[in-house]
């Protein structure tokens, strides 16, 4: 029987600890466990046999660490290790007179690759996928019956491994992850976020292993059964490790273990196994204890959920606010930032929307003149670096959407599909493969229907078509479209009616970009906020809106408070009191000068004062007479050691916000003649604080900085230099091991751009070191770098 | 001596972060003004909300062979300075301690948004993991009834950073507490410390068997 079917309907026993058992058999520390597949196959076969005798129906191969990223220094090839592992499992099954694929299944064990993925680590997502693919292909070809991806402690890595499995074979894939004592994965994910992502990516069974004992796992198992529509697997350690007379022992014996496993099975868990410290005795005891137990039926769960790498957002009674600010439509500043590849602007928008109550962020970076495929993936990666909110990937470019869905860490929202056949044909296969909740617009080949009847009809059509792909209604959120009430006085009523019918008749979640409603009328926020309340009252599940708008947030918090969705009015009170202090603060006029605000590093104040000064003074006078002198004073103080780096930076940031205020009054023409400098942290180095410090200061002194980021290849530096006619490059390296890449970058620059000068800096560098690798200048700190730049350009 | 691998997990509130150490990392030599002090406090509070400390450690018998320090399982580290540091020791602990990945997330977040904050958080992170190492070492000393030589990390002196991966493997640090290495042998989470620390031979151990905190000998060479 197909193991997928089996585990859906029956309790399936999986084997127990492998690595810990091998250590007991005498595997010396420091020896790669997989080498025993070849050198001591008799031990491996015996262990498999013992598990089969104990009653295990799934035996996992000794391939947990067989990954090219982990086995760089092994004397055997990946093929040799994995093929012999599968052979050993087959031999054990034959020795026990069992039939492979009927009595006993061979699961190819895939463990973590022991490297962390970008953006926190340095492993590229696609490199991780390809490394996992290699091992999985070998194992599948060698005759494994299923793939078990186990002990994953990072959602992103779990996603890479699961995608690899789905793309390189047709075998069933089980995925189990390891929680810590706080019930979080190592990189922070809770239960529901993991479940949502793995279900979306079409794992065949999911669950938990390692990290905890059966007692601690029970609570997590409960949540898995509660949230998952897939069979759940639980493979605990034999308790928590403790040391007795110099040996690690686990504090739960086989009988106690079996008792807990029975309780876990009674929760509705279908896959029962063990991990570190468990032995064939543990599995045997579990099998005996749970004999005759019928597997509880698995219930399909019907809630709508999206997730990030830490948490999930469930669509329930409280409406979900989707932040709309990262969308260039009608936002000249964002357009400019996108054209200049300045992701920082997007990141600020992301964080401030989160701080103001957004629970999902829409990401749209579509502009005709930019490479949207690259920009959307870059933006998604960057935003996931600063915000843990789930994202709504928003694009009309299918390639961009697919790429973004692929590299997104979690279960995304997708904006959008519509009733056009071409749209559904393009979007649904992507949702099927990567998972996600998709926004469905009620328009089709004939445009946007005028009546609510027709809009509901399109919604139905989309839901039916989705079903053909196995995409359930819970993963569709319908946008019934808000049209300007100024051009059609009935449009608001039509939309409200449609929202109500979608909610009540189709029982589907809804979403709306509400602000369209007021197009063409004055004081739009008045109408928008009133319309928002009306929509919520008619059942709207989520709104795409501006969380920075006080009017809109007032409507939202008030609605929640009045509808009993805000226990003890906590959120309302927090919002209302936050509102008041904010007003109080801005009203209390301190009479401080702009210079003082900059020197002391009051960013917000510096912006306000500079903005106010524009009423009486010319922009350039503010810059030359106030901002620059203040900056110089701080810079000199730093050089004399009376001002320290944190203060220097706070002043720089205050100056920057003063510049931002002044910029609103200057025509965009001065950008042209700014001196350009390229800055980068060299390849292999992922520290970027130092580089960012230098960048902020250079910008303060009105240089235009082209920031290539961190871990930058020499070739990329050279390309940026040649494309932009750059004469000055700043390179940063923090580690002795990466100074080598600094040297090769300089070498390549000398070859391809001999006129370009190079400033180097970073913790491990010295003047001598800098000379040795052929740099032009060594800057001991950020100020010195500014001075060199001024000297270089003669300013 | 117990040679098993052990782990230690501590909540953020169990470690007192030495802000003066953080400020020393930032080369701040005088009192900061109010606004900058406020920034430090803000960072400290955000940091403490985010982190969770984890460590693993393990005892090995050791022998010194010229410039080489050889562990009882045959693994060796080549470094004259380390050999000197461990001279006379019969055993040593290997350990790795981390403030966890959330510290990286926090620093990364502000690195693009507000670099002054990233800088201060980075220094606080370094001070925090130092503080955690101290607490952990004290705990190990009490657990095993030993006292320690100064700790020694890969990358110090002539102990190559390349032995980092070997150390982490001996401690199963990836699986136990989630430590990974970049291609350039940098640990992530970045606020992590790995080290080898020698157990002082009996002849060197402090005569006063009391806890250092209760001892008056302020200038004692064995003081924590």
- Token pair of A660, please? 């931002």
Of B35, B40, B182, the CB nearest to A601: B35
Searching chain A, which residue's CA lies closest to the CA of residue B188?
Answer: A121
Q: How many helices (H) and strands (E) does chain B have?
A: 7, 8
Q: Are B60 and B91 in contact (CB under 8 A)?
A: yes
Q: Which is higher by pLDDT, B163 or A240? A: B163
For residue A245, pLDDT over 80 is answered with: no
pLDDT digits (tens, 9 = 90+) for A583-624: 554 444 467 899 999 999 999 899 999 999 999 998 888 998
CB-CB under 8 Å, B73 with A28: yes
Give the 3-state secondary structure of B132-151.
Answer: HHHHHHHHHHHHHCCCECCC
Backbone dihedral region of A459: left (phi > 0), alpha (psi from -120 to 50 degrees) or beta? alpha
pLDDT above 70 as % of chain A: 97
Instruction: Measure Cα distances from A716 to A75, A439, A683, A705, A765 in Å.
Output: 35, 37, 10, 15, 22
Domain A3-289, CATH among 3.30.460.10, 3.40.50.11540, 3.40.50.970, 3.20.20.330: 3.20.20.330
| H/E run at residue A712 | none
For residue B209, pLDDT over 70 is answered with: no
Query: CB A318: neighbour CB atoms within 10 A?
Result: 18
Query: pLDDT grade, residue A128 (50/70/90)?
Result: very high
Instruction: Measure Cα distances from A777 to A641, A731, A734 in Å.
Output: 22, 10, 17
Query: CB B185: neighbour CB atoms within 10 A?
Result: 20
For residue B212, pLDDT over 80 is answered with: no
Q: CATH fold of A305-548, please?
A: TIM Barrel (3.20.20)
Residues 564-583, chain A, touching B (beta carbon < 8 A): none
Q: Are B60 and B92 in contact (CB under 8 A)?
A: yes
Q: Where in chain A is the domain with CATH 3.20.20.330?
A: 3-289
Whether A73 has its CB under 8 Å from any CB of chain B: the answer is no
* pLDDT of res. A587: 46
For residue A638, pLDDT over 60 is answered with: yes
Peptide bond into A119 cis (omega under 30): yes
| H/E run at residue A777 | strand A777-778
Task: Indicate the range of A267-276, A395-404, B159-168 predicted with least confidence.
Answer: B159-168
Residues 13-72, chain B, touching A (beta carbon < 8 A): 26-30, 32-33, 35-36, 39-40, 52
Q: Where in chain A is the domain with CATH 3.20.20.20?
A: 305-548
Query: CB A713: neighbour CB atoms within 10 A?
Result: 17
pLDDT above 70 as % of chain B: 92
CB-CB under 8 Å, A685 with B32: no
For residue B81, pLDDT over 70 is answered with: yes
Question: Which ipTM score applies to this complex?
Answer: 0.88
Task: Indicate the range of A477-491, A607-621, A654-668, B33-47 predicted with least confidence.
Answer: A654-668
The Cα A306–Cα A192 span in angstroms is 9
Give the 3-state secondary structure of B2-44.
Answer: CCCCEEEEEEHHHCCCCHHHHHHHCCCCCCCCHHHHHHHHHHH
Q: Which whole number is the average pLDDT over B211-222? A: 68
Of B29, B109, B115, the CB nearest to A693: B115
Query: pLDDT grade, residue A246 (50/70/90)?
Result: low
Residues 158-177, chain B, touching A (beta carbon < 8 A): 161, 169-170, 174-175, 177
* pLDDT of res. B62: 96
pLDDT above 90 as % of chain B: 70
Q: How far is A420 from chain B (nearest CA, A)?
A: 40
Give the 3-state secondary structure of A198-234.
Answer: HHHCCCCEEEEECCCCHHHHHHHHHHHHHHCCCCEEE
Q: Which whole number is the average pLDDT over B183-212? A: 84
CA atoms within 13 A on the CB side of A624: 5
The Cα A162–Cα A136 span in angstroms is 10
Residues 632-651, chain A, touching B (beta carbon < 8 A): 641-642, 644-647, 649-650
Angle between helix A254-267 and helix A214-227 axes, rounded to 10 deg: 10
- Which residues in chain A are contacts of B112 at CB distance < 8 A? 343-344, 347, 382, 385-386, 692
CB-CB under 8 Å, A243 with B2: yes
Instruction: State the pairing for strand pair B52-65/B6-11.
Output: antiparallel
pLDDT digits (tens, 9 = 90+) for B124-163: 999 999 999 999 999 999 888 888 999 999 988 899 998 9
The Cα A495–Cα A484 span in angstroms is 11
Q: How far is A561 from chain B (nearest CA, A)?
A: 28
Q: How far is A647 from chain B (nearest CA, A)?
A: 6
Searching chain B, which residue's CA lies closest to the CA of residue A648?
Answer: B116
Q: CATH fold of B6-214, please?
A: NADH Oxidase (3.40.109)
Whether A121 has its CB under 8 Å from any CB of chain B: the answer is yes
Cα A483–chain centre separation: 33
The Cα A426–Cα A757 span in angstroms is 49
Burial category of A457 from C-beta neighbours within 10 Å (exposed 0-12, middle 13-18, buried 19 and up): middle
The Cα B122–Cα B106 span in angstroms is 9
- Which residues in chain B are contacts of A705 at CB distance < 8 A? none
Q: Which whole number is the average pLDDT over B43-61? A: 95
- Name residue A696's beta-bridge partners: none
CB-CB under 8 Å, A188 with B101: yes
- Which residues in chain A are contacts of B30 at CB distance < 8 A? 642, 644
CB-CB under 8 Å, B4 with A649: no
Residues 418-447, chain A, touching B (beta carbon < 8 A): none
The Cα A278–Cα A260 span in angstroms is 13
Searching chain A, which residue's CA lies closest to the CA of residue B25?
Answer: A645
Of B52, B114, B182, the CB nearest to A121: B182
Task: Indicate the range of A363-367, A532-536, A736-740 predicted with least confidence.
Answer: A736-740
Domain A676-793 has CATH 3.40.50.280: yes
Residues 376-405, chain A, touching B (beta carbon < 8 A): 382, 385-388
pLDDT digits (tens, 9 = 90+) for A744-763: 999 999 999 999 999 999 98
Cα A246–chain centre separation: 42
Whether A8 has its CB under 8 Å from any CB of chain B: the answer is no
CB-CB under 8 Å, B115 with A653: yes
pLDDT digits (tens, 9 = 90+) for A187-209: 999 999 999 999 999 999 999 99
Domain A594-663 has CATH 1.10.1240.10: yes
Q: Which whole number is the average pLDDT over B167-194? A: 93
For residue A773, pLDDT over 50 is answered with: yes
The Cα A712–Cα A705 span in angstroms is 16
pLDDT digits (tens, 9 = 90+) for A574-583: 999 886 655 5
Where are any strands of DSSP class E within A259-355?
Answer: 271-272, 305-307, 312-314, 320-323
**Overall pTM > 0.90:** yes
Whether B203 has its CB under 8 Å from any CB of chain A: the answer is no
Residues 225-284, chain A, touching B (beta carbon < 8 A): 241, 243, 246-248
pLDDT digits (tens, 9 = 90+) for A347-376: 999 999 999 999 999 999 999 889 999 999
For residue A617, the SS3 value is coil
Query: pLDDT grade, residue A20 (50/70/90)?
Result: confident
Residue A600 gets which letter from DSSP?
A: H
Instruction: Measure Cα distances from A39 to A74, A75, A93, A95, A110 in Å.
Output: 13, 12, 20, 19, 21
- Which residues in chain B are contacts of A737 at CB distance < 8 A? 161, 184-186
Gyration radius of chain B over CA positions = 18
- Which residues in chain A are contacts of B175 at CB distance < 8 A? 112, 151, 210
Q: Which whole number is the average pLDDT over A243-259? A: 80
For residue A45, the SS3 value is helix
For residue A559, the SS3 value is helix
Whether A653 has its CB under 8 Å from any CB of chain B: the answer is yes
The structure tokens 């009105």 sit at A702
Searching chain B, which residue's CA lies closest to the CA of residue A177?
Answer: B175
Burial category of A142 from C-beta neighbours within 10 Å (exposed 0-12, middle 13-18, buried 19 and up): buried
């Amino acid at each position: 029987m197909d193991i997928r079917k089996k585990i859906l309907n029956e309790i399936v026993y999986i084997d127990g600890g492998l690595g810990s058992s091998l250590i007991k058999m005498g595997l010396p520390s420091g020896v790669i466990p997989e080498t025993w597949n070849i050198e001591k196959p008799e031990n491996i076969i015996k262990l498999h046999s013992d598990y089969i005798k104990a009653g295990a129906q799934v035996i996992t191969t000794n391939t947990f660490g067989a990954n090219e990223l982990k086995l760089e220094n092994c004397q055997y090839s990946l093929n040799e290790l994995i093929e012999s592992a599968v052979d050993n499992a087959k031999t054990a099954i034959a020795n026990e007179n069992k039939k492979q694929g009927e009595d006993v299944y061979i699961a190819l064990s895939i463990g973590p690759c022991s490297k962390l993925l970008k953006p926190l680590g340095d492993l590229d997502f696609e490199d991780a996928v390809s490394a996992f693919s290699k091992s999985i292909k070998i194992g599948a070809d060698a005759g494994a019956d299923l793939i078990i991806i186990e002990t994953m402690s990072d959602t992103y890595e779990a996603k890479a491994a699961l995608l690899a499995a789905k793309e390189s074979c047709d075998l069933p894939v089980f995925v189990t992850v390891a929680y810590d004592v706080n019930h979080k994965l190592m990189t922070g994910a809770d239960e529901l976020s993991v479940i949502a992502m793995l279900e979306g990516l079409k794992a065949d069974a999911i669950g938990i292993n390692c990290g905890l004992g059966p007692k601690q796992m029970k609570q997590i198992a409960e949540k898995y059964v509660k949230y998952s529509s897939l069979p759940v697997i639980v493979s605990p350690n034999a308790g928590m490790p403790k040391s007795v007379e110099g040996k690690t022992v686990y504090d739960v014996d086989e009988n106690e273990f079996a008792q807990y496993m029975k309780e876990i099975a009674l929760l509705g868990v279908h896959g029962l196994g063990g991990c570190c410290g468990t032995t064939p005795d543990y599995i045997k005891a579990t099998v005996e204890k749970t004999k005759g137990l019928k597997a509880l039926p698995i219930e399909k769960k019907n809630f709508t959920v999206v997730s990030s790498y830490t948490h999930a957002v469930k669509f329930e009674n409280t409406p979900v606010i989707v932040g709309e600010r990262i969308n260039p439509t009608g936002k000249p500043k964002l357009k400019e930032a996108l054209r200049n590849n300045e992701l920082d602007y997007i990141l600020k928008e992301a964080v401030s929307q989160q701080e103001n109550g957004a629970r999902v962020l829409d990401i749209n970076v579509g502009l005709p003149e930019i490479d949207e495929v690259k920009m959307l993936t870059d933006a998604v990666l960057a935003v996931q670096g600063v915000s843990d909110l789930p994202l709504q990937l928003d694009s009309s470019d299918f390639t961009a959407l697919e790429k973004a869905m692929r590299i997104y860490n979690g279960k995304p929202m997708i904006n959008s599909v519509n009733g056009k056949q071409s749209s559904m044909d393009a979007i649904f296969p992507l949702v099927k493969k990567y998972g996600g909740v998709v926004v469905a617009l009620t328009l089709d080949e004939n445009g946007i229907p005028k009546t609510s009847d027709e809009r509901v009809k399109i919604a139905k059509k989309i839901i039916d078509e989705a079903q053909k792909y196995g995409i359930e209604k819970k993963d569709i959120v319908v946008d019934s479209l808000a049209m300007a009430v100024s051009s059609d006085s009935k449009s608001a009523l039509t939309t409200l009616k449609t929202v109500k019918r979608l909610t009540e008749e189709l029982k589907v979640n809804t979403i709306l970009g509400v602000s369209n409603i007021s197009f063409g009328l004055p004081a739009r926020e008045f109408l928008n906020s009133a319309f928002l309340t009306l929509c919520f009252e008619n059942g709207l599940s989520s709104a795409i809106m501006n969380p920075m708008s006080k009017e809109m947030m007032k409507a939202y918090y008030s609605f929640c408070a009045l509808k009993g969705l805000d226990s003890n009015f906590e959120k309302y009170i927090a919002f209302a009191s936050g509102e008041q202090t904010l007003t109080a603060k801005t009203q209390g006029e301190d009479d401080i000068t702009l210079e003082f605000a900059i020197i002391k590093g009051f960013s917000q104040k510096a912006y306000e004062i500079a903005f106010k000064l524009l009423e009486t003074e010319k922009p350039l006078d503010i810059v030359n007479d106030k901002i620059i002198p203040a900056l110089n004073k701080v810079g000199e103080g730093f050089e004399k050691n009376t001002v320290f780096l944190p203060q220097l930076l706070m002043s720089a940031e205050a100056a920057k916000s003063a510049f931002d205020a002044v910029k609103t009054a200057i025509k965009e023409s001065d950008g042209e003649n700014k001196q350009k400098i390229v800055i980068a942290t060299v390849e292999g180095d992922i520290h970027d604080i130092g580089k960012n410090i230098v960048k902020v200061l250079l910008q303060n002194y009105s240089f235009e900085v082209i920031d290539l980021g961190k871990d930058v290849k020499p070739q990329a530096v050279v390309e940026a230099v040649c494309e932009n006619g750059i004469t000055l490059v700043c390179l940063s390296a923090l580690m002795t091991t990466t100074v080598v890449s600094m040297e090769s970058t300089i070498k390549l620059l000398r070859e391809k751009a001999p006129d370009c000068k190079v400033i180097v800096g970073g913790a491990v560098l010295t003047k001598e070191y800098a000379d040795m690798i052929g740099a032009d200048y060594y800057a001991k700190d950020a100020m010195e770098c500014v001075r060199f730049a001024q000297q270089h350009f003669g300013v | 001596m117990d040679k098993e691998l052990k782990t230690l997990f501590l909540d953020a509130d169990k470690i007192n972060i030495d802000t003066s150490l953080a400020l020393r990392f930032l080369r701040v030599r005088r009192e900061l003004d109010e606004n900058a002090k406020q920034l430090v406090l803000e960072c400290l509070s955000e940091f403490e909300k985010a982190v969770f400390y984890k460590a693993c450690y393990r005892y090995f018998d050791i022998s010194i062979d010229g410039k080489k320090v050889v562990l009882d399982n045959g693994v060796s580290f080549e470094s004259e300075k380390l050999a000197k540091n461990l001279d006379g020791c019969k055993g040593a602990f290997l350990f790795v301690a981390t403030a966890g990945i959330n510290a990286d997330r926090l620093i990364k977040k502000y690195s693009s948004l507000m670099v002054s904050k990233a800088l201060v958080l980075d220094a606080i992170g370094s001070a925090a993991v130092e503080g955690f190492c101290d607490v952990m070492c004290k705990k190990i000393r009490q657990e095993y009834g030993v006292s320690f030589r100064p700790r020694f990390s890969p990358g110090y002196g002539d102990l190559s950073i390349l032995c980092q991966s070997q150390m982490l493997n001996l401690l199963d640090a990836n699986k136990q507490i989630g430590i990974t290495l970049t291609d350039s042998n940098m640990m992530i989470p970045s606020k992590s410390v790995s080290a080898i620390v020698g157990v002082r031979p009996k002849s060197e151990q402090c005569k006063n068997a009391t806890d250092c905190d209760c001892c008056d000998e302020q200038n004692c060479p064995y003081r924590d």
